[in-house]
A and B are shown apart, each in its own frame.
Chain A
Amino acid sequence: NAGVTQTPKFQVLKTGQSMTLQCAQDMNHEYMSWYRQDPGMGLRLIHYSVGAGITDQGEVPNGYNVSRSTTEDFPLRLLSAAPSQTSVYFCASRGLAGDKYEQYFGPGTRLTVT
């Protein structure tokens, strides 16, 4: 199993450009999520999904869109990039059975907006 994969690893955007960060998992997990990590802030939840066709907002959703058309994929879209979106982005997934909340994280995408 590859686990959770993210592409690209690095990206530089100009202000106003759009792009999609890709995330895929091969563990058949229902729950998938996106976080951003900024210095001194820890990881903050952007959006999450509990299954195909179902998405919801997290703590910091503004400026980001998501969709979940399959169990495996959960892309994150930046419609008009801003310097404040410079961050490291992590995708994560977990199963929904039982009462455990451990998530598996991808390796991250480092995004710089100039």
Chain B
Amino acid sequence: DQQVKQNSPSLSVQEGRISILNCDYTNSMFDYFLWYKKYPAEGPTFLISISSIKDKNEDGRFTVFLNKSAKHLSLHIVPSQPGDSAVYFCAASRNNDMRFGAGTRLTVKP
């Protein structure tokens, strides 16, 4: 069973606009959530995270929002840049178990 879901396989936005990537999870026991970015032929790289005791975490152009009652998190990128084009994975963790979504391919057009 897929406990972490990213329902949009792809997203295309214009440079300078906001990118919003969404993620849903089913297991309420997850207590830490992360976003990873992946370029082709490379391993995923950590982007931003949030603990379940918070509802927002911001790092420069990247903000992650967590809605625990809806079991939903989102990643906002403002402003989007062409270099942000990559596959984005959300992940949810409890203890030593981490589950990933299937990924969303973001394309930022100049």
CA–CA, A44 and B34, complex, Å: 15
Total A residues in contact with B, Cβ cutoff 8 Å: 27
Main secondary structure of the interface of A (DSSP, over half): strand
Q: Which of A41, A101, A107 contacts B93 (CB 8 A)?
A: A101
Complex contacts, A31 vs chain B, CB 8 Å: 96
What's the least CB distance linking A26 to chain B, in Å? 15
Q: How many residues of B contact A (CB 8 A)?
A: 26
Answer yes or no: A64 CB below 8 A from chain B CBs: no
A residues within 8 A CB of B89? Answer: 42-43
Number of A-B contacts (CB under 8 A): 58
Contacts of B16 in A (CB 8 A): none
Q: Mark A34-46, 1 if CB is under 8 A from B, else 0.
A: 0100001111110
Chain B residues 45-63 with CB under 8 Å of chain A are 45-46, 49, 51
* Contact present for B98 and A102 (CB under 8 Å): no
Q: Which residues 47-94 in A have Cβ within 8 Å of B in the complex?
A: 48, 50, 56, 58-59, 90, 92
Q: Which residues of A are interface residues toward B (Cβ below 8 A)?
A: 4, 31, 33, 35, 40-45, 48, 50, 56, 58-59, 90, 92, 99-108
Which residues of B approach A to under 8 Å, CB–CB?
2, 4, 6, 9, 32, 34, 36, 41-46, 49, 51, 89, 91, 93, 96-103
13 CB-based A-B contacts, threshold 8 Å: A4-B43, A40-B9, A42-B2, A42-B100, A43-B89, A56-B96, A90-B44, A92-B43, A99-B32, A101-B93, A104-B46, A108-B42, A108-B43
